[in-house]
Chain A
C-alpha cells in the first residue's frame, strides 16, 4: 500500500492563521455603509392572545424602522419540517420569547430604550411547562394531543418475557436542557430590496436551510436569495435552525428600510434565553435478564420536551429512539418515543441530537441493573454487547467486525481500572469525606442522517479547477471549528496527489456552492468528504483524458495542467451526488432496517472524587476510547473528542438550565456553569482505527460521539464512589446530590 500523502496526518487547520491573528471575519466584525442595527421585542408571556402593540412615550418613533407580522411579504411561518413557527407572532403567543416586533435604528443605545418602550397587550392563556402534563394533555397547546411525533420500535415480544425472567429491573432517568454556549452569539446582516432580492451574511451551520426559509418568507425564487456564511464561532447545533429566524428578521427590517443593511447580533443573555437548547428528556426502562445476566427484554418509554414549536423535534426524537437500546443484543425490545409541546422556546439541535439523552438512560440503567442483580457491571456488559451479525433494536444487522468487549477492556486498561479500584477500596474504607469511584459507558453513534434522510437529501458537492492552477472545493458544508475546511482539503489533495496549499475551500455561499446538505449529524467528513473525493477523482480523470496531465506528476505539473485546461475550455468542474450504498434498507413507517450506514463506537471511562461535605463531584481522570474508522487528521480528531467530552462533563455535572415560567432564568455565563481550564482534567483520547470502506480514506463521522458518553460514565462513577444507585438525573449538581443523599440519610454517622 502506498503511504498516504495527507490522510492520517495532522495538517494545520486551513483557516488557522486568520484565527490566531484575529483577522478572521465573524458576522459582528462586518460593518457596512448606512447600516442599521436591529432588535427584537419579545412576548415575555408564555401563552396568550396578542391584542395590541403600543409604542410608548418619549421615543422618536418616526426615526425607527418598525416591522410586525403584518409586514411579511410571503409565508409567515419558518419553512422547516412543518411550517408552524412564525417569524413574528400574529395573534397567538406560545412561549415567553416569541418575537413580536422588530425595530431598527442607527443608534444602538436609543434602540435599547425603544425596545423597552414597546408594550404588548397580551391576554394570557393557561400555559403548560411540564412534560408529563403535556403528555397527559392537561391543556392542549399544539395539534390534537400536544405530540410533535410518536415512534414505536418493536422487535420480538417483550410481554412474553417478564413472567419467566430471573431478574426484572426498572428505572426512570431524566436529563436537563443544555445551552450550546458557542462563544460567538447568533447574528446576521441582511440587505433586502424589491429588485435585487435578499442577501444575508451570518453565523450559521446550514446555508441552504436559511435559503429555503427566506425564499418562502419573501416569496422569492432561488436566485433572488443569497446566503453567505461568515466565520462561525461555534455552533454545536445551536446554529442549525435558529439562524433562519434571525436572518429573516434582519431581512424584513432591511426591506422596510429601503434596502439599508441591517445587523442583528444577540447579546449573551438574549442568545441563551431565546434560542434553541437541548431537549430535556425522561426515560423509563423496564428490563428483564436471565440468571446469567443475559438481556431478555427492554421496554423503553422515551419522552422529549420539544418546546412550543415542532422545529427539529421529530428528527431529534428519531435519533434518540434508535439509540435508546444502547449497543446491546436484546431479542425482545419495545421503544415507545414521544416528543411533546410545552410553552418554552423550541428546543433544537445540540451535538448528539437525542442520543445523549437516551444513551444516558440505558448506560445508567445497566449499572443500576448490575447493582440490583449483584453483578459486576463489566461482566454484565460483556454478556450483552453487540457483535458482528447481531441485530440492533431496529433489526439492523451489524456487518462490521466491531470488537466492543475489546474496546471496553482497552478503555479500562488505560484508566488503570483494576489498580485504581483496589486503591479506592482502601481509600473509601477510611473515614475521610472524599469518596472515589470509577465508572464507564459504552455506546455508539449513528453516522450521517437517520434512516432515509441521506437519500432524501441527495446532497451534491464538487471541485473546481481555477485559472491560478489551484483546486477549489465547492460545498455548503460550513467550518465552525470542527475542521471541515481542512478535512475536505486533505481528502481532495490526497486524490489529486498535490500539496495541501493547492486546495482551497470556498466560503459557503448559496450563489457559488451546491447544496451538500446541512452541517450536522456527523456527516461532513463521511458523507460530504466522500462526495468531494469522488468529484476530485472525476476532475483528475478529465485532466488525464484531456492529455494535459501525464502520470506521474508533481504539484507543479498538476497546476500547470489545470491552467492549460482552463485556458482551452474555460472551466473545469466536477460534481458528485450522494447515492445510498445498495445494501442499506430502511422502512420509515415501521422503523425497521438500517437506521445508519454505519456507527462510531466508543467506551469512555472516568474516575471521580465525591466530596461528601460540599457534594461536589470532581473528575480526576477521563479516558475516551473510540473506533471511528480511519482518523484523517489526528490533531483535529482529538480536538473534537476533547471538546465534546468537556461539553459532556458539563452536561452531566454542572450545566443546569433553571426554568421559571417557561423562560431560562440563568441566561448568563455567571450563573450557567460551563467548565474553565481549571475544572476539567486532561482528557485522554485513544483511537482504534478500523477503516470504513464507504468513508473517504476509511473515515466515519465523529463530531457528536463524544457528547454521548461522559454523563453516564460520570454518574456510574458516582454510584461506585457512594455505593448508591440513586443518582438518575443530570446535571448532578451539588444541590441535587445533597438532596438525594439527605433523602437517604446517607450522612447519618452510621452510614459514613
Chain B
C-alpha cells in the first residue's frame, strides 16, 4: 500500500521530505496535513485524498525564507540537514499552536523528531529565535 511519503517523494517529486526510518520514530518525514503535523510514512496515501498538504517546499515563499528557516541558518540548527525539513515543519507547527514557547515547550514540541548531529541545543535556540523574530515583526508592523 502506497504511503503518503511515497506519493510526496515519487509522484509529486517533492524530495525535501525525507525518510529516516519508515516506522514513525524519527520525524524526518513530517508534513502538515489538514493543519496537523503527521509522519507521512505512517499515513496511507488514500487517507490524504482531497486533503490540504504542506511540505517543506511550501514553507519559504519564493526567495524569502520563513523565519524558522532563517533562524536555523543563523543558530546552527542544521548540520547534516537530513532531519532539518522535518524539524522545520515541526517548529512551524509548534509556533502556530504556541507562538511564545519556553524551552520546555520547544523540547516537547520537537520530541517526535530525532536529530543525531546537534544534540538539540542549537535547534532549540533556532526555534526560540524564530519566535522572537515573529514578535519583532509583529511589533514593527504595529508601530
Q: Is the CB of B76 within 8 A of A21?
A: no
A642 CA / B116 CA spacing, docked (Å): 10
Q: Given the complex, which residues of B lie within 8 Å of A22, measured CB to CB?
A: 14-17, 55-57, 84-85
In the complex, are the beta carbons of A670 and B25 less than 8 A apart? yes
Q: Is the CB of A643 within 8 A of B119?
A: yes
Cβ contacts B91-121/A at 8 Å (1 or 0 each): 0000000000001001110111111111111
Q: Are B119 and A29 in contact (CB under 8 A)?
A: no
- B residues in contact with A231, CB < 8 Å: 81
Contacts of B14 in A (CB 8 A): 22
Chain A residues lying within 8 Å of B110, measured Cβ to Cβ, are 676-677
The chain B residue with its CB closest to the CB of A271 is B21
Known A20-B65, A23-B16; judge A643-B116 contact (CB<8 A).
yes
List of A residues within 8 angstroms of B114 by Cβ:
183, 669, 674, 676
Cross-chain contact A21 with B69 (CB below 8 angstroms): yes
Choose among A268, A481, A676, A682 the residue that contacts B79 (Cβ–Cβ < 8 A): A481
Contact B121 A642 (CB under 8 A): yes
B65 x A17 contact (CB < 8 A): yes
Q: Using known A-B contacts A643-B119, A670-B25, determine if residue A635 contacts B81 with beta carbons closer than 8 Å.
A: no
Q: In the complex, what residues of A have CB within 8 A of residue B32's CB? A: none
B82 contacts A16, CB within 8 Å? Answer: no
Bound complex: CA of A268 vs CA of B23, how far in Å? Answer: 9
A98 to B12, CA, bound (A): 36
**Chain B: interface residue count, which band?**
35 or more
Does B79 contact A669, Cβ atoms closer than 8 Å?
A: no
Q: Is A427 an interface residue (CB 8 A)?
A: no
CB-defined interface of B60-101 with A at 8 Å, one 1/0 digit per residue? 100001000100111111111111110010000000000000
Determine which residue in A31, A643, A646 has the highest number of CB atoms from chain B within 10 A of its CB, and name it: A643
Please provide the chain A residues from 630 to 679 with a CB less than 8 Å away from any CB of chain B in the complex: 635-636, 638-639, 642-647, 668-670, 674-678
Q: Say if the beta carbon of A24 comes within 8 Å of chain B.
A: yes
- Residues A183 and B80 in contact, CB atoms below 8 Å apart: yes
Our pick among B78, B80, B107, B122 for the contact of A20 (Cβ within 8 Å) is B78
**Residues of the B chain whose Cβ atoms lie less than 8 Å from the Cβ of A480:** 80
Is the pair A677, B116 in contact by a Cβ cutoff of 8 Å?
A: no
Residues in B with CB closer than 8 Å to A678 are 107-108, 111
User: Residue A669 contacts which of B26, B75, B107 (CB distance < 8 angstroms)?
Assistant: B26
User: Lowest 3 CB-CB distances: which A-B pairs, in order?
Assistant: A22-B16, A481-B80, A233-B82
**What is the CA–CA distance of A94 and B32 in the complex, to the nearest angstrom?**
46
**Closest residue on chain A to residue B71 by CB atoms:** A20
Q: Say yes or no for B38: interface residue by CB 8 A criterion.
A: no
A236-B122 in contact (CB<8A): no
Contact in complex: B119, A184 (CB < 8 Å):
no
**CB neighbours of A647 from chain B (8 A):** 116, 119
- Interface contact B76-A635, CB-CB below 8 Å: yes
Least CB separation from A637: chain B residue = B76
Q: Which residues of chain A from 199 to 240 have a CB within 8 Å of any chain B CB?
A: 231-236
Beyond A17-B65, A20-B69, A646-B118, 4 extra complex contacts between A and B, CB < 8 Å: A183-B80, A674-B114, A675-B119, A680-B120
Min CB gap B15→A, angstroms = 4
Do B122 and A642 touch (CB < 8 A)? Answer: yes
Tell whether, in the assembled complex, residue B76 and residue A636 are in contact, meaning their CB atoms are under 8 Å apart. Answer: yes
- CB pair B81–A268 under 8 Å, yes or no, is no
Interface residue? A182 (CB, 8 A): yes
Whether B122 and A181, one on each chain, are in contact in the complex, defined by CB atoms closer than 8 angstroms, is no
What is the distance, in angstroms, from A26's C-beta to the closest C-beta of chain B? 7
Chain B residues packing against A (C-beta within 8 Å): 9-10, 14-23, 25-26, 28, 55-57, 59-60, 65, 69, 72-85, 88, 103, 106-108, 110-124
Give Cα A235–Cα B80 distance, bound, in whole angstroms.
Answer: 9
A646 and B21 within 8 A (CB): no
Chain A residues, Cβ within 8 Å of B119: 639, 642-647, 675, 680, 683
Query: A683 touching B82 by the CB < 8 A rule?
Result: no
With a cutoff of 8 Å between Cβ atoms, the chain B residues found around residue A674 in the complex are 114, 116
Given A480-B80, A481-B79, A669-B23, decide whether A181 and B116 contact each other with a Cβ distance below 8 A: yes
- Contact A183/B121 with A13-B76, A481-B81 known, Cβ cut-off 8 Å: no
Contact of B82 (CB < 8 Å), options: A17, A26, A180, A675 = A26
A677 touching B80, Cβ below 8 Å: no
Instruction: Assess whether A15 is interfacial by the CB under 8 Å rule.
Output: yes
User: For residue A181, which residue of chain B has the nearest CB?
Assistant: B116
Among candidates B10, B82, B88, residue contacting A184 with C-beta atoms closer than 8 Å: B82
Residue of A267, A646, A647 ringed by the most chain B CB atoms within 10 A: A646
* CB closest residue in chain A, given B123: A677
Contacts of A670 in B (CB 8 A): 23, 25
Contacts A635-B122, A676-B114: A183 and B82 contacting too (C-beta < 8 A)?
yes
Encode A4-44 as 1/0 by CB contact (under 8 A) with B.
00000010110111111111111011010000000000000
**Complex contact A12–B73 (CB within 8 A):** yes
**A182 and B82: CB pair below 8 A?**
yes
Q: In chain A, what residue has the closest Cβ to B82?
A: A233
Given contacts A234-B82, A683-B119, contact A183 B16 (CB under 8 A): no
Are B120 and A677 touching (Cβ within 8 A)? yes
- Is the pair A28, B19 in contact by a Cβ cutoff of 8 Å? yes
Least CB distance from A178 to B in Å reads 12
Supply 6 A–B pairs (Cβ within 8 Å), ascending by A: A19-B84, A20-B72, A20-B77, A21-B65, A268-B21, A638-B122
Question: Which B residue's beta carbon lies closest to that of A682?
Answer: B121
Beta-carbon contacts under 8 Å, A493-552 to B:
none
Q: Which residues of B contact A12 (CB under 8 A)?
A: 73-74
Residues of B within 8 A of A680 (CB): 119-120
Most buried by A among B23, B112, B119, B122: B119
